[in-house]
């Protein structure tokens, strides 16, 4: 498989180069040159296939022959070590829980898959790789966990000061070993811009071999398609015949973009809903056809506090810049913090379900869509465990949330971080601490 830059000013590259580089030299996102629907034989056996078999079939064409099939199978087996349950509320409503991994967030899948791909590529190399990643909350924790102790890989995480939850910050700053955290005086968009600038800074190349583990990296982004397959399989086994609609809490739009890819591969998903908080760049685009990023604003669903979503370029390419085509497949709505809290209360009071604020936004988007489409079977993604947003959740539902073992073990650890406020300081840190 070859990948080209969406800025169209760089040479096409293979999977390994796209993973190692993260971003193309012309600052564009890498995108697969072709996407082939899965064969009829796959669909004939779909209901009886294991998660590992489904994942292999879904990702094989994107990896090509750069990782042997047997090794790719091992990577998948080591990635998918936890469940992805569909929790049903009634005859046409469910949530897909994506928080059963080690950091209790949906990004565990992409983080673990990418880490193991990079580990494979580095198996015979003596050159260290630095994974430079910006996070609005959950990405950094998943990347830190996925890459912890991986030989030849150092991870540097940038996160916005005071804009991640306490538990999220502990997941970023307490790992040690090959994980370093930088607290940025700014918002997520500032962190993301620093990362993109570093990739293209020629003066850094003698000091650091950089790649990224944000959803801009194809190895982080594409495996997020897996759990859409798992959910649809589970529902088809239960004889659900209504059209499938997925509501995706969206920030940088990697998750929903992976859902679009799953649909391109042939997965029978009727419609998507891109549900956002007050960072409403994409809903405004769907409404008026103008992509107009704005500075991000802080909300209680902080992992979605993104004013300029990177994966918009991939979505635009997927639908050939045709807004009409996009709107046939995707709706988008934004919601306030007040509405989000009310949704958490609603889910708890009506279904005894404790949702995190991001899942609650997904629930709101699904409700809004179903007002005019009652015939569908709606699934909203629960992208993180509610314990990661403990204060917000407990205040909303007026109930204590129990602490899972994955979180309990980090509560007493010492936090280690370095504060920066500019790209100049980031650059100095990367050069001064190069190994």
Instruction: For residues 111 and 182, give the distance between their C-alpha atoms in angstroms, rounded to a whole number.
Output: 19
Instruction: For residues 67 and 369, give the distance between their C-alpha atoms in angstroms, rounded to a whole number.
Output: 41
Instruction: For residues 311 and 214, give the distance between their C-alpha atoms in angstroms, rounded to a whole number.
Output: 10
Q: Which residues pair with 275 in a beta bridge?
A: 249, 333
At 207-241, the pLDDT tens digits run 888 887 778 899 999 999 999 999 999 999 999 99
At 340-364, the pLDDT tens digits run 999 999 999 999 999 999 999 999 9
Query: 137 pLDDT exceeds 80?
Result: no
At 361-391, the pLDDT tens digits run 999 999 999 999 999 999 999 999 998 898 9
Instruction: For residues 279 and 27, give the distance between their C-alpha atoms in angstroms, rounded to a whole number.
Output: 24
Please give the average per-residue pLDDT across 278-304, as a whole number: 94
Instruction: For residues 15 and 66, give the distance between their C-alpha atoms in angstroms, rounded to a whole number.
Output: 7
Contact 116, 93 (CB under 8 A): no
Structure tokens at 171: 């997941």
> What's the pLDDT score for residue 211?
80
Instruction: For residues 338 and 350, give the distance between their C-alpha atoms in angstroms, rounded to a whole number.
Output: 18
Structure tokens at 333: 């709505």
Q: What is the DSSP letter of 127?
A: S
Please give the average per-residue pLDDT across 150-157, as a whole number: 86
Question: DSSP 3-state assignment of 273?
Answer: strand
Convert 189-225 to b/e letters by CB count within 10 Å (16 or more is b): bbbbbbbbebbebeebeebbbbbbbbbbbbbbbbbbb
> What's the pLDDT score for residue 372?
95
Instruction: For residues 118 and 37, give the distance between their C-alpha atoms in angstroms, rounded to a whole number.
Output: 26
At 243-288, the pLDDT tens digits run 999 999 999 999 999 999 999 999 999 999 999 999 999 999 999 9
Q: Pick from 420, 149, 421, 125: which is nearest to 433 by CA?
A: 420
Q: What is the DSSP letter of 243?
A: P
pLDDT confidence tier of residue 435, bands split at 50, 70 and 90: low
pLDDT confidence tier of residue 192, bands split at 50, 70 and 90: confident
How many CB atoms neighbour CB 348 within 10 A?
Answer: 19
Higher pLDDT, 40 or 202: 40
Q: 305-309, 331-335, 414-418 — which is least confidently predicted?
A: 414-418
Q: Phi first, then psi: what are they for 340, rounded to 5°?
A: -65, -45
> What's the pLDDT score for residue 416?
86
What domains appear along the chain, each with residue ranges and CATH number?
83-103+221-403 (3.40.50.1100)
Q: Pick from 235, 217, 193: which is nearest to 93 by CA?
A: 235
Instruction: For residues 164 and 425, give the distance between their C-alpha atoms in angstroms, rounded to a whole number.
Output: 21
Question: DSSP 3-state assignment of 340?
Answer: helix
């Amino acid at each position: 498989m070859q990948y080209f830059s969406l800025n169209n000013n760089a040479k096409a590259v293979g999977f390994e180069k796209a993973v190692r580089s993260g971003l193309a030299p012309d600052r564009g996102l890498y995108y697969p040159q072709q996407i082939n629907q899965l064969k009829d034989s796959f669909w004939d056996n779909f209901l009886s296939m294991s998660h590992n078999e489904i994942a292999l079939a879904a990702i094989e064409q994107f990896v090509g022959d750069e990782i042997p099939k047997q090794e790719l199978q091992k990577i998948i087996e080591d990635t998918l070590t936890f469940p992805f349950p569909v929790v049903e509320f009634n005859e046409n409503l469910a949530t897909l829980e994506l928080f059963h991994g080690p950091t209790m967030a949906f990004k565990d899948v992409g983080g673990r898959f990418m880490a193991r791909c990079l580990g494979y590529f580095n198996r015979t190399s003596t050159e260290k790789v630095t994974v430079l990643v910006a996070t609005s909350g959950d990405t950094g924790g998943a990347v830190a966990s996925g890459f912890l102790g991986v030989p030849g890989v150092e991870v540097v995480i940038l996160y916005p000061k005071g804009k991640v939850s306490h538990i999220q910050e502990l997941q970023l700053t307490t790992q040690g070993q090959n994980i370093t955290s930088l607290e940025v005086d700014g918002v997520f968009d500032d962190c993301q811009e620093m990362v993109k600038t570093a990739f293209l800074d020629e003066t850094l190349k003698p000091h650091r071999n950089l790649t990224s583990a944000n959803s801009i990296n194809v190895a982080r982004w594409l495996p997020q398609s897996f759990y859409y397959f798992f959910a649809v399989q589970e529902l088809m086994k239960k004889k659900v015949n209504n059209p499938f609609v997925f509501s995706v809490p969206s920030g940088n739009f990697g998750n929903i973009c992976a859902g679009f890819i799953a649909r391109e591969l042939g997965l029978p998903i009727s419609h998507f809903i891109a549900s956002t908080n007050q960072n409403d760049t994409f809903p405004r685009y769907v409404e008026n056809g103008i992509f107009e990023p704005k500075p991000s604003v802080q909300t209680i669903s902080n992992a979605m506090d993104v004013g300029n979503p990177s994966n918009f370029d991939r979505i635009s390419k997927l639908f050939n810049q045709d807004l009409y085509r996009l709107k046939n497949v995707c709706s988008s709505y934004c919601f306030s913090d007040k509405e989000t809290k009310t949704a958490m209360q609603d889910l708890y009071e009506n279904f005894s379900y404790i949702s995190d604020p991001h899942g609650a936004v997904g629930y709101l988007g699904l409700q809004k869509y179903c007002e005019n489409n009652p015939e569908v079977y709606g699934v909203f993604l629960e992208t993180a465990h509610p314990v990661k947003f403990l204060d917000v959740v407990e205040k909303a539902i007026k109930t204590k949330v129990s602490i899972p073992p994955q979180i309990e073990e980090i509560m007493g650890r010492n936090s280690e971080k370095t504060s920066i406020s500019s790209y100049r300081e980031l650059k100095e840190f990367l050069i001064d601490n190069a190994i």
